[in-house]
Structure 1
């Protein structure tokens, strides 16, 4: 029987969304005010609100940042070492399957709006987060965050055994995540939530115990992902330059070029690939959410010749810039 707390989520869980939006210059107070909330409410560990409010607030913050992958980017910077469900599971788990069991048992304490399920077959295991409530506001960026978070968790557990080609993300909102994050496939699904699918034999693999193990690894995954996010943030205002180099950004990020290159390689990516993805992401945002002309968008991204920009965009998306814009307007 439903209880009076069904569909409620602890409000402090949106703090990472608020912090990232603020760092991008969003007027947080006015956004919170639309939902009759304050910064003090967000910081109150005892405050819970209905999922309707959480979804509306996170979508509003995403719209203000003009970032179609806002929730996913929040997950990139989220400190999984300090979140209680993951902290406890990492400290005690001995295998990947043990971790997911402990996490599954702990996470319902954070929200009553979803149910976590681990399904195992002979070939695959699927960790799903199923929504239990219907809302007017779509949970697009909460789903993006969840997909990013669970992708990070699995990558952290596997470390050097990671193989993105054997992982797929299931979601009704594929637009909420980058095209192939960490090399995994993103599949549109009609499930009422999100799913992460991977080979079932991975559940038997041992994991290193304790949060200390997460912090002492030469290239810890949370840091790697934060560096990728930081690189994209630093590069975004400079995309009109065609001579962007790894060395320049390594200096800006306070590390050696060799370290930055190794960090990107650990994420199955490279500097040119990230710059290319960022150009496509920014172009897609501008084509969807602004009236900026295609030629002006091309110039902002370093293409003074509109035809060169159009060929680049089509090579990555399968559509010309105008075809993409018209498709979004339908």
Structure 2
């Protein structure tokens, strides 16, 4: 294996490994999979990493970030040294959920692949700020779209799409395949066969955005490795890291404070505004500029937490009621029914 090391969180390289702090950043531990792919190709990964300005003792701390320019430069060097136009697909074999830190554990503990995709949609900024994920349902299909906000090299797209499908097969069943795949990258001159072999689905290239299309029925199946408690705990860790990463993002900051204040029953707009060092009026204006309100964020956060808590069979409804800041179970039940159309008891009875 290479000389890259997995340090403990907090002792790794400072975030501005990104040579331009204004550039979208990417989780640094992703590069550990690239190192393994280089070593499997009989290439000294330490030499290549140093050549592109990445230190040999890269940490798994999710706050250790690499700039998009650095990632592109690294992949270009890897393709050149291995003479492998499909190097990104090779990296997909070595990417593992722990490379995504707490988000990886949250994904692994998801109750279904639909939950898996929703977590990616919510928390993908921890992986990279260079792309935005959106999830839509159209009839019997689920579309997971990747919109690239800056230039995004094809090998990165190959690696993550390959990783996604491999991981979903691991969590659900080995024969699981997407219905179709669309890639933003152009097709390599050598052809599309390695993509078709990996995805077992039609693949198109040079599209406006990246897209994975799935059968909705597959995504709704319960996963045998589901663990709501682990998913909930990991989500909280992801949100705390995003708050540090997106210091100027008001929605992330408000969401984190709502989660922090709900259990004591004192989660008001004024209290959250004070915790964020701004007046309630300024907070309201900032949220309005983002197309939302404090009440919408409060309701959405409560709904998400409530669903996660109710999946934890050991938690009684009375406990969940107070964890979400409600005074009594009848108020919680009315709110939950308005959010989901189901009572908490009926929600728990679902398969």
- Compute the TM-score of the two structures, normalised by the length of structure 2: 0.51
The answer for the alignment partner of 1:89 in structure 2 is 107
1 or 2, which has the higher helix percentage?
1
Given candidates 204, 219, 223, the residue that maps to 1:207 is 223
- Separation (CA, whole Å) in 2 of partners of 1:140 and 1:188: 10
The answer for the alignment partner of 1:142 in structure 2 is 156
Are residues 156 and 38 of structure 1, via their aligned partners in 2, closer, same or farther at CA, if it must alter by over 3 Å? Answer: same
Do 2:29 and 2:99's aligned partners in 1 also have CA atoms closer than 8 Å?
A: no
Do 2:29 and 2:62's aligned partners in 1 also have CA atoms closer than 8 Å?
A: yes
The answer for the alignment partner of 1:37 in structure 2 is 54
Are residues 21 and 169 of structure 1, via their aligned partners in 2, closer, same or farther at CA, if it must alter by over 3 Å? Answer: same
Are residues 44 and 60 of structure 1, via their aligned partners in 2, closer, same or farther at CA, if it must alter by over 3 Å? Answer: farther
Deviation at 1:45, TM superposition (A): 5.1
Deviation at 1:63, TM superposition (A): 2.1
Do 1:9 and 1:51's aligned partners in 2 also have CA atoms closer than 8 Å?
A: yes
- Separation (CA, whole Å) in 2 of partners of 1:187 and 1:43: 34
- Separation (CA, whole Å) in 1 of partners of 2:133 and 2:142: 13
- Separation (CA, whole Å) in 2 of partners of 1:152 and 1:201: 19
Are residues 45 and 105 of structure 1, via their aligned partners in 2, closer, same or farther at CA, if it must alter by over 3 Å? Answer: closer
Count of residues in correspondence between the two structures? 202
The answer for the alignment partner of 1:152 in structure 2 is 166
Do 1:151 and 1:196's aligned partners in 2 also have CA atoms closer than 8 Å?
A: no
Q: Deviations over 1:112-161 (max 9, x none)?
A: 11111112111321112221113xxx51211110110111133234316x
Are residues 96 and 28 of structure 1, via their aligned partners in 2, closer, same or farther at CA, if it must alter by over 3 Å? Answer: closer
The answer for the alignment partner of 2:33 in structure 1 is 16
Given candidates 128, 135, 146, the residue that maps to 1:129 is 146
Are residues 20 and 206 of structure 1, via their aligned partners in 2, closer, same or farther at CA, if it must alter by over 3 Å? Answer: same
Q: Deviations over 1:45-68 (max 9, x none)?
A: 543232111012022112211222
**Partner of 1:126: helix, strand, or coil?**
strand
Do 2:142 and 2:216's aligned partners in 1 also have CA atoms closer than 8 Å?
A: yes
Unaligned stretches of 5+ in structure 1? 212-330
Do 1:51 and 1:113's aligned partners in 2 also have CA atoms closer than 8 Å?
A: yes
Are residues 119 and 65 of structure 1, via their aligned partners in 2, closer, same or farther at CA, if it must alter by over 3 Å? Answer: same
- Compute the TM-score of the two structures, normalised by the length of structure 1: 0.54
**Partner of 2:147: helix, strand, or coil?**
strand
Are residues 58 and 19 of structure 1, via their aligned partners in 2, closer, same or farther at CA, if it must alter by over 3 Å? Answer: same
1:169 aligns with 2:181: yes
Given candidates 64, 85, 88, the residue that maps to 1:68 is 85
Unaligned stretches of 5+ in structure 2? 1-19, 228-351
**Residues 1-330 of structure 1 correspond to what in structure 2 (within 5 A)?**
5-41=22-58, 46-80=63-97, 83=100, 84-91=102-109, 93-134=110-151, 139-159=153-173, 162-164=175-177, 167-173=179-185, 174-175=187-188, 177-192=194-209, 194-210=210-226
- Report 1 or 2 for greater relative contact order, CA contacts < 8 Å, sequence distance ≥ 6: 1
Larger Rg: 2
**Partner of 1:94: helix, strand, or coil?**
coil
- Separation (CA, whole Å) in 2 of partners of 1:199 and 1:53: 36
Do 1:116 and 1:130's aligned partners in 2 also have CA atoms closer than 8 Å?
A: yes
